[in-house]
Amino acid sequence: MKHPLTNNYRLLGFYAIFWATIGTINLVLQLLWYNVPLSYSLLDTGTNYVLYPLLGSSIWYSIRYSNLEEVSIGRLIIFHLIAASILCGIWVYISYAIYKPFVKDNDFLNNGLPPKIFLGYIMYVIYLVFFYAVNYYESLKEKIKKESEYKALIREAELQALKSQINPHFLFNSLNSISSLTVSNPEKAQEMVINLSSLMRYSLMHNQKEMVSFSRELENIKLYLGIEKVRFGKKLNAEFEIDAHCLEAEIPNMILQPIYENAIKYGVYETTDQVTIKTCCMCDGNILKINIVNDYDASTIKRRGEGIGLRNIRKRMEIIYNNPDLIKITDNKTSFEVQLVIPQKQAVS
């Protein structure tokens, strides 16, 4: 840590004004009350309240390198005693070197020595307390700052983790479909490679941007469903009912992907019949409502309600909007419904 007086000009100003005030009071008292000659009084005040504060600012370094918690009390006392003696010696020596040309009165010099040395030690203690207080305050400030930085980092990391990644099961199955198409239908294979690339590019991009337009997210979902449609053929049927003016709404990116992945996993994977995934959207003032319903075969699976994908969405929405109730899940036994409410900064009209 830097020296607080050179690092913080306000503190330096306060330090200077404080000692100037004390020095002036001392000067006035000596002149008017004790009738000390002006030259003596100036010398005394100058050495005590100008020279000492200059030398004393170095006490900062002695407390920086003798941390209260790391050093035992005995060592600390000895350390400061030595430091105080050295500082005091230097200060008294310089003071007397200044006095010499001006003061001819030997009594003044001799009688003044013990109180001067005593004052030197007392001042050392005052400085010590002052610098310890400054040090404590600065470390506290730094700690609070670090803590808030750390919290922001954790929040960021949490958000990253909650965002959906491309599901490896989906990726490898799609690659297998492409592998098959290269034999039977190379043009379709090429189309699928391009679609898969766009999808992956979108999911990589989401690391940089938190919010996207609903139309952009929807485009991505259609791309995803298109790829799955190549795998599942007629088994997968996707329907969209979107209010055109909702498209401008803002939405956290990749927030919808896990819902569709679930619909495919529990709906399409598990049945031999056709499954419809229906998406309805409407805007109402400052909110965008998205409703996604898929049918599923209740005889083969027991849905456990909120899986990890949906839990992540809830968590992410909670972090972004500070509200844990923006996702609603309904199991109708033959269909599964997820409703998202996404608050908008500006009313969508």
Pick between residue 228 and residue 250 the one whose CB is nearest to another protein: 228
Pick between residue 85 and residue 173 the one whose CB is nearest to another protein: 173
- By residue count, the chain amounts to 349
Pick between residue 180 and residue 335 the one whose CB is nearest to another protein: 180
Pick between residue 175 and residue 200 the one whose CB is nearest to another protein: 175
On whether the CB atoms of residues 203 and 254 are closer than 8 A, the answer is: yes
d(CA 44, CA 54): 15
SS3 287: strand
SS3 255: coil
**Burial readout 242-257 (b: 16 or more C-beta within 10 A, e: otherwise):** eeeebbebbbbbbbbb
Pick between residue 120 and residue 267 the one whose CB is nearest to another protein: 267
d(CA 268, CA 264): 5
Nearest distance, CB of residue 196 and another protein, angstroms: 13
Nearest distance, CB of residue 272 and another protein, angstroms: 5
| Tokens linked to 169 | 């099961």
Nearest distance, CB of residue 172 and another protein, angstroms: 4
d(CA 313, CA 251): 12
Pick between residue 231 and residue 289 the one whose CB is nearest to another protein: 231
Pick between residue 90 and residue 301 the one whose CB is nearest to another protein: 301
Nearest distance, CB of residue 208 and another protein, angstroms: 27
Nearest distance, CB of residue 192 and another protein, angstroms: 10
Q: Which residues bind another protein (CB under 8 A)?
A: 168-169, 171-173, 175-181, 183-184, 230-233, 269-272, 299-302, 304
Nearest distance, CB of residue 161 and another protein, angstroms: 19
* Contacts of residue 26, Cβ cutoff 8 Å, sequence gap at least 6: 41, 44, 45, 48, 49
* Contacts of residue 255, Cβ cutoff 8 Å, sequence gap at least 6: 217, 313, 316, 317, 340
Nearest distance, CB of residue 273 and another protein, angstroms: 9
Nearest to 57 by CA among 115, 8, 23, 113: 8
